[in-house]
Homo-oligomer: A and B are copies of this chain.
Amino acid sequence: MESVVQVSGTVISRPPGQKNPKMPTGEIEIKVKTAKLLNSCKKLPFEIKDFMKKTETLRLQYRYLDLRSAQMQYNLRLRSQMVMKMREYLCNLHGFVDVETPTLFKRTPGGAKEFVIPSREPGKFYSLPQSPQQFKQLLMVGGLDRYFQVARCYRDEGSRPDRQPEFTQIDIEMSFVDQTGVQSLIEGLLQYSWPSDKDPLVVPFPSMPFAEALASYGTDKPDTRFGMKIVDISDMFRNTEVGFLQDALSKPQGTVKAICIRKGAKYLKRKDIESIRKFAADHFNEEVLPIFLKTNENWNSPVAKFIMEEQGLGLVKLLETQEEDVVLLTAGEHKKACSLMGKLRLECADLLEARGVVLRDPALFSFLWVVDFPLFLPKEENPQELESAHHPFTAPHPSDIHLLYTEPHKVRSQHYDLVLNGNEIGGGSIRIHNSELQHYVLDTVLKEDVKLLSHLLQALDYGAPPHGGIALGLDRLMCLVTGAPSIRDVIAFPKSFRGHDLMSNAPDSIPPEELKPYHIQVSWPMDAETEKSSSNHPCRSES
């Protein structure tokens, strides 16, 4: 089993009755003349059959064996083919230039998630960039006009499930382009590179303003494969007697929101509803009220008795409720209430599908542009200050540019996200090409240290063309296209969620003398000092 054999002989037809039409070679066999064992295989740690369950730890430890599985072969080969098609589209059909940009770069402002690399100059470090953002803009200044790169990017987020410390993006930038130009390029790109064994993509993709995505789906990446939209029912409850609704509505931005779960009364159990209410209480500190509709006239809810007939009818009308539906209702500040409802919408979809209801067709790829994001957001730790919603090079929306100097928090941006089945698979923007405007945003609005970006500000001064671009997350995209359970299944040698290579045992210790040329030393934390010698293979037991 799994040994390598060299066989020579004559190809003959299989005897009658032994043909297997399901195999590509099912019609023939080889009449062996000579056979030679090229390399034998030891006892395998697991059988290489798709139906054999094995832990991911074991798969990652023996990755070279796991790669032999039909699924991994399919995933990696399809990835290669799709990327090749993308290159043909960009390079051969649309005149893009594939430019490699450095990965040994300098720290960017707020680059706390950037890996550092000590250099041979004491105290001087390179940083591994989170994206080629600055370089691609500089290429536009440099007259390269249409740039793309399948770019390796780095982000140190510590231990996070389904994130990789290094990942790949299809990185694109164009001069003299607007938002529609970038969008239609990407639509064409995906359509052209889409696997032939799937339904062809229909373009253009629909588009939705961020405000609508938040209001109707409670997220900036709506899964539009199914409805169950969030509905604002605040107006119906202005005169309510229900305490917590009264409370919420009396506050600024106070709202009442609802989603309707079709046939929820049939599929959801009491404990499901309880777990939903608990989730809302635990994660959002919010109350959720379930309302069961036995029939359209027959309410069953703790608040039912407080809901006046008029409100009941209004709900039925607005939510288009039918027999056996369940309505979930919450109240609170608009954004928070929407976020909660957005989470519950997905939670309920999972619950319904676990009960056999098909909400999200697995063959359906539902692309969506989300547009008109805010340019800035209040900082979480200090809401008086603003930070970039995406990055500081994003251009403001042309209609809102006058607000930049008076009410910057109201300015919308020319940023756009590409969403697939509820996952953000890309994002980009038209960039600021005016040096003064860029300086104003960095210095006055964001209060960043402009010195770290002086080269970029300077570059904009020398006749930078208007430009914009986008980056697609290749790992995530391939994960969705192949239907893989994790991005680790579309990467040949991924790291575990703790950032370890379980096969080679990276990261590893380095002899102190090899650190000397880099003028660094390890500062051992108090509790690690004693463990130093015994920590030989800390990752082998990782799950």
A18 at interface by CB-CB < 8 Å: no
Residues of chain A in range 135-150 having any CB-CB distance to chain B below 8 Å: 135, 138-139, 141-144
Of A50-58, A90-98, A251-259, the one contacting chain B is A90-98
Q: State which of B84, B116, B139 has its C-beta within 8 Å of the C-beta of A510.
A: B116
Find out whether the CB atom of A101 lies under 8 angstroms from the CB atom of B492: yes
Given the interface contacts A73-B143, A120-B156, does A39 sit within 8 Å of B466 by beta carbon? yes
A124 touching B509, Cβ below 8 Å: yes
Q: Using Cβ atoms and an 8 Å threshold, which residues of chain B touch A168?
A: 100
A121 interface residue (CB < 8 Å to B): yes
Question: What is the total number of copies of this protein in its complex?
Answer: 2
| A41 pairs with B462, CB closer than 8 A | yes
Quote the shortest CB–CB distance from A76 to chain B (angstroms): 6
Known contacts A38-B465, A466-B38; A507 and B121 CB within 8 A of each other: yes
Question: Which residue of B is nearest A42, CB measured?
Answer: B461
Partner of A102 from B41, B97, B493, B520 at Cβ < 8 Å: B493
Q: Name the 5 nearest CB pairs between A and B, nearest first.
A: A67-B142, A41-B463, A106-B506, A124-B507, A119-B507
Complex contact A117–B128 (CB within 8 A): yes
B106 in contact with A505 (CB, 8 Å): yes
Given contacts A462-B65, A507-B126, contact A98 B117 (CB under 8 A): no
Check: A4 CB closer than 8 A to any chain B CB. yes
Nearest CB on B from A394, distance (A): 17
Q: Specify which chain B residues have a CB less than 8 angstroms from the CB of A115 in the assembled complex.
A: 104, 117, 126
Q: A62-B462, A116-B518 are in contact. List 11 more A-B contacts (CB 8 A).
A: A63-B138, A66-B142, A68-B142, A76-B144, A77-B97, A80-B97, A84-B87, A101-B492, A106-B506, A119-B499, A124-B509
Nearest chain B residue, comparing its CB with the CB of A140: B64
| A522 adjacent to chain B (CB < 8 Å) | yes
- Residue A488 interfacial (CB < 8 Å): no
CA distance A127 to B73 in the complex (A): 28
Q: Is B510's CB under 8 angstroms from A142's CB?
A: no
Q: Does A99 contact B (CB under 8 A)?
A: yes
Is A68 in contact with B116, judged by CB distance below 8 angstroms?
no
- Complex CA distance for A520 and B138, rounded to whole angstroms: 33
A528 at the interface (CB under 8 A from B): yes
Known: A67-B143, A98-B84, A506-B106. A519 touches B522 (CB 8 A): yes
Residues 354-413 of A at the B interface (beta carbon under 8 Å) = none
Contacts of A112 in B (CB 8 A): 514
The answer on a CB contact under 8 Å between B64 and A524 is: no
Q: Which residue of B lies closest to A520 (CB)?
A: B520
How far apart are A512's CB and chain B's nearest CB, in angstroms? 10
Min CB–CB distance A244 → chain B (angstroms): 42
CA A106 to CA B38, docked complex, whole Å: 30
Give the docked Cα–Cα distance between A265 and B154 (Å). Answer: 60
A106: chain B residues at CB < 8 Å are: 501, 504-508
A118-B116 CB under 8 A given contacts A84-B87, A126-B506, A520-B523? yes
B residues less than 8 Å from A135 (CB atoms)? 492-493
* A44 CB within 8 Å of chain B: yes
